[in-house]
């Protein structure tokens, strides 16, 4: 047995309930080597990481450190074997200083000046910048990551595992990180980088191990590998996505965003002068590395970010279309009639004065009252409720399905009425309409559930998403925003979602699709806007776009330089 293997996993398996998260994974990490653990979302990288770091205990398999079999049943054990984990979501105590976080849980003399000196010594050896007395809540993302890395080095870790370390960094910061990692490798440390970014894999690693759907596919030396080969290992076959893209018919400027700015409560600029036009009958993709402002952009449009500035103009093509009570209340219809917004089929102006409510309802329900003009509304400073009361059918499938889009502890029917429960004057709920909607969604979208009265949290991820998307498209939205709609879904469910989006596009809906998989974005979207650090760095045509170009825009450097100037 060769002695230069720092960490070895043999046939490690782990399941959660019925889900097999890791199956027979075997990985070898040599000393002084950087190994990339490559895999798509849901391939089991995170589970494997948690097994190595003692958060989960494997159902089967063995772990060897320096050739000796070990049992890692807690993070303490991991430290004992000099394994250090740098989590994607930093595990830091906000009200502690950098040094306090670094020495947390250690058993050695607690003299702050000595600790600070040692921290600085490590920082200088590998080229980090750090202020040991700075509180975490005052730090930038990159500073926090530095604290995390020094934390494991301080504990004498020889094996470092970095989970998606670049996801939240700017290109300059990534470059610095890679320099530091290379310094550490040359110092004899063994490093595992968990990622799904191929270009980074090629740049930084010596060996690549690939996981797919929880299974170990294989390892190759980076110098002998090429990107298309790795992609194939990662996704199973060459990425020829068979996503249908229909032609755009009669596009109209549905939503016009101008100069949207948003600064969060920690005074960090999240959205930076965003101007964007979303057209009816087309799918607009939003690409960008995670945390570039996608979530905030959608939430601003949906009326959830009170502090955003700029304008959001909604154009509703309504000329000569009948007025409905679908979203308009009687009160709103009367107001609009007063403003002269309606006409009859013969062109005469509508005047409701003197009519009873019942008579007005009858006229409207018969489809005899038509709009004079297209509606133009400013959605800025409107709450989601006000937007709906204006009659704007804006649907939003958020990234956090159970935490935002749905209520996990409610059944499917009650979740169906989230958007519509307020309808009608009665103080009581009417569960018949949501009930039939639930039946319809279950049937049409093939939701696997025992009954419509089943709690949503008990459904699988794909079915949860179908319930959410089903509800959001049930109102025939004029604008449909979806964030990572296929994350965690199997292939069949994903394709169903793509088809539903295309269907909505055919119906003239303006669709904003925030995605992470560039292949999908390119195959599905008509146009793709690229976000980088809260800025739009380019808008490309989906039919002619290429991945490299988008990738370049995603890591555009211009914004970064401005950022440093502000620091």
Partner 1 sequence: MTNAKEKKISEPLFHIEKRADFPRWKGWLIRIAAFIAGLIVSGIFGSITLSTNPFTFFSTMIDGVFGTSERFWIYLKDSAILLGVSIAIVPAFKMHFWNLGGNGQVLMGALASAAVAFYLRGAVPDSVQIIIMIVASMLVGAIWALIPAIFKAIFKTNESLFTLMMNYIAIGLVDYFILVWFPKTGSYIYSVSKTLPSMPTLGNPYILPILISCLLTGFMYIYLRNSKHGYEISVVGESENTANYIGMNVKTVIIRTLILSGLIAGFIGFIICGNAGFQINSDIVAGRGFTAIIVTWLANFNPLIMVFTSLLVVFFTRGAVNTRGFYSLTTNAISDITVGIIFFFIIGCEFFINYKLDFIPRKKGGNK
Partner 2 sequence: MVMFLIGTTGIAIALLLGCLGETITEKSGHLNLGMPGIMSIGTLGGCYGATLYVSWFGEQTSGFFVIIFSLLVCIFFSCLMGLIYNVLTVTFRSNQNITGLMMTTFGAGITEFAMTKGDFINKSSVAVVSNYFKTWIPGLNLEDSWLSLFIGRGILVYVALILAIAAGIILNKTRIGLNLRAVGENPSTADAAGVNVAKYRYIATFIGSSIAGIGGYYYIIDNLSGSVGSYPNIVAIGWLSLALVIFTLWKPILSILGSFIFGALYILPTKISGISLAQMKIFNLLPYIMTIVVLIITSALDSKENQPPASLGLNYFREDR
User: What does 107 bind: partner 1, partner 2, none (CB cut-off 5 to 8 Å by kind)?
Assistant: partner 2
Compare residues 62 and 172 and give the one whose CB is closer to partner 1: 62
User: What does 526 bind: partner 2, partner 1, none (CB cut-off 5 to 8 Å by kind)?
Assistant: none
**Residue 308's CB: how many other CB atoms inside 10 A?**
22
Compare residues 226 and 386 and give the one whose CB is closer to partner 1: 386
CB of 100 to partner 2, least distance (A): 6
Q: What residues are paired with 316 via a beta bridge? A: 375
Compare residues 232 and 411 and give the one whose CB is closer to partner 1: 411
CB of 110 to partner 2, least distance (A): 4
Angle among Cα 284, 289, 293 to the nearest 5 degrees reads 70
- DSSP single-letter state for residue 517: -
User: What does 564 bind: partner 1, partner 2, none (CB cut-off 5 to 8 Å by kind)?
Assistant: none
- Measuring CA to CA, which residue among 385, 513, 500 is closest to residue 447? 500
The DSSP string of 239-271 is: -------PPP-S-EEEEEEEEEEEE-TTS-EEE
CB of 415 to partner 1, least distance (A): 9
Q: How, if at all, do strands 375-378 and 309-316 pair?
A: antiparallel
Q: Which spans of this chain sit near partner 2 (rule: CB under 8 A)?
A: 53, 55-56, 74-76, 79, 85, 87, 91-96, 100-101, 103-108, 110, 135, 137, 151
Q: Does residue 549 contact residue 540 with C-beta atoms inside 8 Å?
A: yes
Compare residues 70 and 263 and give the one whose CB is closer to partner 1: 70
Q: Does residue 145 contact residue 165 with C-beta atoms inside 8 Å?
A: yes
CB of 104 to partner 2, least distance (A): 4
Q: Does residue 141 contact residue 169 with C-beta atoms inside 8 Å?
A: yes
Q: Is 558 exposed, middle or buried (0-12, 13-18, 19+ CB in 10 A)?
A: exposed
Angle among Cα 436, 404, 253 to the nearest 5 degrees reads 80
Q: What residues are paired with 253 via a beta bridge? A: 279
Positive or negative, the CA dihedral 105, 109, 115, 117 is negative
Q: Does residue 279 contact residue 226 with C-beta atoms inside 8 Å?
A: no
CB of 56 to partner 1, least distance (A): 9
User: What does 75 bind: partner 2, partner 1, none (CB cut-off 5 to 8 Å by kind)?
Assistant: partner 2
CB of 545 to partner 2, least distance (A): 35
Which H or E run contains 153?
A: helix 141-154
- Measuring CA to CA, which residue among 53, 71, 47 is closest to residue 61? 71
User: What does 491 bind: partner 2, partner 1, none (CB cut-off 5 to 8 Å by kind)?
Assistant: none
Distance CA 7, CA 49 (A): 13
Compare residues 105 and 424 and give the one whose CB is closer to partner 2: 105
User: What does 409 bind: partner 2, partner 1, none (CB cut-off 5 to 8 Å by kind)?
Assistant: partner 1
Q: What is the CA radius of gyration of the chain?
A: 27
CB of 411 to partner 1, least distance (A): 11
CB of 266 to partner 2, least distance (A): 10
Compare residues 56 and 513 and give the one whose CB is closer to partner 2: 56
Q: How, if at all, do strands 535-541 and 527-532 pair?
A: antiparallel
Compare residues 349 and 385 and give the one whose CB is closer to partner 1: 385
Q: Does residue 384 contact residue 304 with C-beta atoms inside 8 Å?
A: yes
Distance CA 313, CA 519 (A): 31
Q: Does residue 158 contact residue 189 with C-beta atoms inside 8 Å?
A: yes
CB of 115 to partner 2, least distance (A): 10
CB of 72 to partner 2, least distance (A): 12
Distance CA 381, CA 228 (A): 47
User: What does 156 bind: partner 2, partner 1, none (CB cut-off 5 to 8 Å by kind)?
Assistant: none
CB of 383 to partner 1, least distance (A): 5
User: What does 79 bind: partner 1, partner 2, none (CB cut-off 5 to 8 Å by kind)?
Assistant: partner 2
Compare residues 92 and 130 and give the one whose CB is closer to partner 2: 92
Compare residues 49 and 382 and give the one whose CB is closer to partner 2: 49
User: What does 137 bind: partner 1, partner 2, none (CB cut-off 5 to 8 Å by kind)?
Assistant: partner 2
Q: Does residue 516 contact residue 484 with C-beta atoms inside 8 Å?
A: yes
Q: Which spans of this chain sit near partner 1 (rule: CB under 8 A)?
A: 1, 10, 16-17, 57, 62, 69, 71, 73, 302-304, 383-388, 396, 398, 400, 403-410, 414, 417-419, 421-422, 426-429, 458
CB of 148 to partner 2, least distance (A): 10
Compare residues 291 and 322 and give the one whose CB is closer to partner 1: 291
User: What does 45 bind: partner 1, partner 2, none (CB cut-off 5 to 8 Å by kind)?
Assistant: none
Q: What residues are paired with 100 via a beta bridge? A: none
User: What does 304 bind: partner 2, partner 1, none (CB cut-off 5 to 8 Å by kind)?
Assistant: partner 1
Compare residues 73 and 129 and give the one whose CB is closer to partner 1: 73
Compare residues 101 and 207 and give the one whose CB is closer to partner 2: 101
Compare residues 259 and 430 and give the one whose CB is closer to partner 1: 430
Which H or E run contains 496?
A: helix 491-506
DSSP-based three-state secondary structure for 206: coil
User: What does 110 bind: partner 1, partner 2, none (CB cut-off 5 to 8 Å by kind)?
Assistant: partner 2
Q: Output 465-468 pairs: Cβ under 8 A, ≥24 positions apart.
A: 465/397, 465/401, 465/489, 465/493, 465/497, 466/441, 466/493, 466/496, 466/497, 467/406, 467/412, 467/415, 467/416, 467/441, 468/397, 468/401, 468/405, 468/406, 468/415
CB of 352 to partner 1, least distance (A): 28
User: What does 342 bind: partner 2, partner 1, none (CB cut-off 5 to 8 Å by kind)?
Assistant: none
């Amino acid at each position: 047995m060769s002695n230069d293997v720092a960490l070895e996993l043999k046939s490690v398996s782990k399941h959660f309930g019925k889900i097999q998260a890791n199956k027979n994974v075997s990985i070898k990490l040599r000393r002084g080597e950087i190994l990339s653990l490559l895999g798509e979302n849901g391939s089991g990288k995170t589970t494997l990481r948690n097994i190595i770091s003692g958060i989960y205990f494997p159902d089967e398999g063995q772990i060897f450190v320096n050739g000796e079999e070990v049992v890692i049943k807690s993070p303490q054990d991991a430290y004992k074997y000099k394994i250090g984990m740098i989590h994607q979501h930093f595990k830091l105590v906000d009200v502690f200083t950098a040094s306090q976080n670094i020495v947390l849980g250690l058993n050695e003399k607690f003299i702050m000046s000595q600790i600070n000196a040692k921290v600085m010594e490590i920082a200088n050896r590998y080229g980090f910048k750090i202020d040991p007395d700075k509180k975490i809540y005052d730090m930038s993302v990159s500073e926090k990551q530095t604290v995390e890395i020094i934390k494991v080095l301080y504990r004498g870790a020889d094996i470092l595992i970095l989970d998606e370390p670049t996801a939240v960094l700017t290109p300059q910061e990534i470059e610095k990180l890679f320099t530091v990692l290379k310094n550490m490798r040359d110092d004899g440390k063994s490093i595992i980088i968990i990622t799904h970014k191929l270009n980074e894999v090629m740049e930084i690693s010596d060996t690549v191990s690939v996981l797919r759907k929880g299974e170990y596919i294989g390892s190759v030396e980076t110098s002998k590998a090429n990107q298309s080969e790795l992609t194939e290992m990662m996704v199973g076959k060459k990425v020829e996505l068979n996503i249908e893209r229909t032609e755009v018919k009669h596009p109209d400027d549905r939503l016009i965003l101008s100069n949207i700015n948003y600064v969060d409560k920690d005074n960090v600029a999240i959205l930076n002068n965003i101007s964007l036009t979303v057209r009816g009958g087309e799918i607009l993709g939003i690409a960008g590395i995670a945390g570039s402002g996608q979530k905030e952009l959608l939430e601003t449009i949906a009326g959830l970010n009170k502090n955003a500035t700029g304008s959001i103009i909604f154009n509703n093509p309504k000329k000569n279309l009948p007025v409905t009570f679908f979203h308009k209340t009687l009160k709103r219809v009367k107001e609009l009639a007063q403003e002269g917004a309606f006409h009859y089929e013969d062109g005469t102006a509508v005047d409701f004065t003197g009519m009873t409510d019942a008579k007005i309802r009858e006229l409207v329900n018969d489809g005899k009252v038509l709009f004079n003009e297209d509606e133009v509304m400013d959605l800025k400073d409107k709450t989601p409720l006000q937007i709906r009361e204006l009659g704007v059918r804006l649907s939003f499938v958020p990234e956090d399905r159970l935490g935002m889009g749905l209520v996990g502890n409610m059944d499917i029917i009650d979740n169906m009425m989230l958007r519509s429960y307020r309808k009608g004057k009665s103080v009581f709920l009417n569960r018949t309409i949501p009930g039939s909607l639930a039946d319809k969604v279950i049937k049409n979208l093939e939701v696997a559930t025992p009954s419509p009265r089943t709690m949503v949290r008990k459904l699988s991820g794909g079915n949860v998403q179908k319930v959410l998307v089903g509800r959001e498209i049930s109102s025939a939205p004029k604008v449909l925003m979806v964030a990572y709609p296929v994350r965690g879904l199997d292939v069949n469910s994903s394709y169903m979602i793509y088809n539903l989006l295309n269907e909505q596009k055919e119906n003239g809906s303006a669709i904003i699709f925030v995605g992470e998989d560039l292949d999908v974005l390119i195959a599905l979207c008509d146009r793709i806007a690229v976000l980088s650090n809260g800025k739009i760095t380019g808008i490309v045509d989906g039919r002619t776009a290429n991945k490299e170009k988008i990738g370049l825009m995603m890591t555009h450097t211009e914004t970064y330089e401005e950022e440093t100037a502000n620091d």
